[in-house]
Structure 1
């Protein structure tokens, strides 16, 4: 009987492990696909005649209603009363509202800064400067989530920082910014770095919120986080959109778009959907693993964008950019290696706890 019980427990543990890694893989696909497609479409919008920074911000946030059908399915699904994920009581609405609104407002600011950076920088330069967000995330996670800096994580952060810095300075001197005034190029660079710092802070705060406030590891909590903070961010962006007066020129902008009005609408629609895929993957990885791992996956996907930019926008791919991408991938692998070690250590500790005899048995001995 004991052998059968142990076998069943081992089988259940394997199923949970495979199920967890399947979820992580699915979230990773959502994040990488959504990030790459949305960034390239955003650059295409500006490249073919788009000029609205607030509209570029809005498409990053306003697509959350497309998630409502799936959200309703989650709400109507039968709940397991003995699930360990639901043992913590739900926080008061006022506390949850403060979390969603505060993170949402910070998201709106970050998205606007990202929009400015994408408008003024070549997409290859923009995407690899964004890899600094991993270093910022590690910095904030050290204070907010008690992240431990190991040799592999430090190596990863150094490589990613050198990668983006190398590309940024090389691009500034190489003519990649041709057609963009030097002042605007500098503004784009500063905004992208500031947005990367803010994004690292948002991920760290999201992880802190799940750990300290929400205390529920369910997909419903992910959907709540995405929808409510997106609602707050969208409302803030709409205020800026109408206050700036950019809405007045959208009709003319659509008519003057080089690829036509239909392509203009399709671009905005698919950009909106792609950012929602990215949000699901990002928040899912934060909940199932950590904010730093989510950011590492995002950084790993950034070198994909310059390669696509060579094909779509005919940007130059020289030796410095290749070295920068190799360093970014190396930095990502270094972090994943450390995460694998931590995962193996955690599993070993769980096995030791399961094999340890209960306190009563120890007393009888």
Structure 2
């Protein structure tokens, strides 16, 4: 109930902010602040209240369903005889052209940022290349983790990314390290520790304790690297790109995914795993057609999740997108129990409850920070509107 109340307050605040933007539109010349962000909001505010809610609900569905489906299909691929780690890495970004659909349909409003402040092509290319290579390495770690862990265990360990995110945000993005954030870090660490020491944890068939340990370490490392990537992306927006519009966020997603896809493709061929793909498809437990469909739909699911993430950032806020992302991490273990009948013993239930506790602490702290920032922005915009109207 507390989480639902927080989500309702975030959405209500977002709509209040949207109403404020519509009042700015009544002035003779709308104020362009934060690099064209208001221009994009004007297009959204033409929607009715119920249309806005439908759009939010659709993007929530994309994020939660996309992430849960991608993890479940990835585990299904391994369970039915798939064994290519590089292919599992490739499909996490290979369907990035799907992002061109919202890019061309919804990013029609041109950014109004001064071209003199825009980064050079060389700088942008370097940012996208470095982040793309890191994403490819991160996806490989996730692939190894999912190979040796059950889907539910894998998802619970992935929840530690919030703890790592707090640490990296403190050192890289100068974010405050409050008592709530510290509580989140400690609780999520305890949750992962319970999974690590659980001797009765449900390991996939044929996985030894040593491989289970490797999967655990790789998933922890992947969560840490993912948090580092998020912090570096935020740093890139703040220091170099200097805008965080819908177009800019989508471009970041598209070009880093392009680089990651190229790196994964090179890895697939350099490792020689591409030679085994035909035999793997023929020996797939559910047949060749099921093999192809599993690979295709896994790739699409990851990009559907990306569309939901970007959509919620644009429609509501980055805080709300983060809220739904963390909630989906708790939903995925439940979905995997239904899909694969994973064991949900007492230790894993306690780990899930601890993860939810950590989520709530992290989310509430971000909600408090976002509320304070929003109030300050409303005060600034209100004084600017009075001077213009």
- Check if 1:277 corresponds to 2:309: no
Correspondences of 1:126-141 after superposition (within 5 Å): 126-141=154-169
Change over 3 Å in CA distance of 1:351–1:295 after alignment to 2: closer
Q: For the Cα contact (< 8 Å) 1:310–1:316, is it kept in 2?
A: yes
Q: For the Cα contact (< 8 Å) 1:125–1:168, is it kept in 2?
A: no
Where does the alignment leave 5 or more consecutive residues of structure 2 unmatched? 1-18, 26-37, 46-51
C-alpha displacement of 1:194: 0.9
Where does the alignment leave 5 or more consecutive residues of structure 1 unmatched? 1-7, 361-365
- Check if 1:179 corresponds to 2:211: no
Change over 3 Å in CA distance of 1:100–1:285 after alignment to 2: farther
Moved more, 188-197 or 38-47: 188-197
C-alpha displacement of 1:346: 2.5
CA deviations over 1:139-175 (Å, ceiling 9, x no partner): 11111111101222222222222222212322xx005
Q: For the Cα contact (< 8 Å) 1:226–1:280, is it kept in 2?
A: no
TM-score of the superposition, structure 2-length normalised? 0.79
CA deviations over 1:317-354 (Å, ceiling 9, x no partner): 11222221122222222222222222332333344446
TM-score of the superposition, structure 1-length normalised? 0.84
Q: Determine the structure 2 residue equivalent to 1:53.
A: 85
Counterpart CA distance in 1 for 2:255 and 2:320 is 23
Aligned with residue 102 of structure 1, among 130, 140, 148? 130
**Secondary structure of residue in 2 paired with 1:251:** helix
Change over 3 Å in CA distance of 1:209–1:25 after alignment to 2: farther
CA deviations over 1:280-309 (Å, ceiling 9, x no partner): 34456678755x875564333222222122
Counterpart CA distance in 2 for 1:319 and 1:112 is 31
> How big is the alpha-carbon RMSD for the aligned residues of Structure 1 and Structure 2?
3.1
Q: For the Cα contact (< 8 Å) 2:246–2:310, is it kept in 1?
A: no
Change over 3 Å in CA distance of 1:197–1:355 after alignment to 2: closer
- Check if 1:65 corresponds to 2:91: no
- Check if 1:304 corresponds to 2:331: yes
Correspondences of 1:307-346 after superposition (within 5 Å): 307-346=334-373
CA deviations over 1:55-83 (Å, ceiling 9, x no partner): 000000111122334433456x353xxx7
